[in-house]
A = this chain, B = another copy of it.
């Protein structure tokens, strides 16, 4: 009965959508939307792995929502709602739980989401949580990862590598004028939901960048049965990142494109769609930058000013 009361106090204010049935039931109930399909994604986070033990609980909650929103954004889906499962650890007492719920509430409103249900349990280990998030897309219009075409241009949103540097900054391993901005990028990523119409109209394939630009570009290539070439010198890097890395050479750029936690979009577009896509992105105040090409030879290839760079799983070496 304690769990019942705790759920009522923390989460019922977030769950006033009819789908949630007041969190009084064993399940949520989603009605259909004629002409639309339901895009569903899940992402989990673990304390000490995906966030730091001293990160603010409201920011942890907002990041969890946002990494799932980033998946919806990549699929050009309209955010709808989510189920939450949380395993509270002993260190997450009432004040931290309330702050976590407050973070959900803040970003629910910002992104038009509703809480539909979930489960709360206890764990003797680190706090962890997962969200299953729903979005709507017109039937047949979801932008897949597997639908890149030979000759398409590869583009990325925003800037790449801030998340990995931001983690260092959040750990106090990075100083300088850009450190606070980078740490904020790591803690509260900006899901590119504003790109929905641009992707629907112009992208052939799309994914969000959670494991690094290289890995997620490679995933588009693999899923599409094609290869991807990335020109490192074209990868957009923030001023804050440059301020921490005066010599942005190939080694530095490889760190930027393998670091992960960017939550930007990598997408492909036919050559004639590239300019309209960039223009549509700009209209939504999101910069899109061409960084590579879809090619016939399977696999991922990386170059720096024309020089091939060999990549292996553990890192990189000159080819």
Contacts and interface: CB of A to CB of B under 8 A. Distances in A.
Contacts of A124: 46, 48-49, 125-126
Given A123-B128, A124-B126, A126-B125, A28 B41 contact: yes
Interface stretch (A18-26, A100-108, A158-166): A18-26
Contacts of A36: 32
A40 to B, nearest CB: 5
A117 B41 CA distance: 7
Contacts of A71: 26-27
Interface stretch (A168-176, A215-223, A228-236, A268-276): A215-223
Contact of A219 (B4, B27, B33, B128): B4
Interface string A193-232: 0000000000000011001000100110011000000000
Majority secondary structure, A binding face? mixed
Contact of A119 (B27, B42, B117): B42
Interface stretch (A138-146, A237-245, A282-290, A302-310): A138-146
Contact of A28 (B39, B85, B118): B39
A186 interface: no
A125 B90 CA distance: 13
B30 A145 contact: no
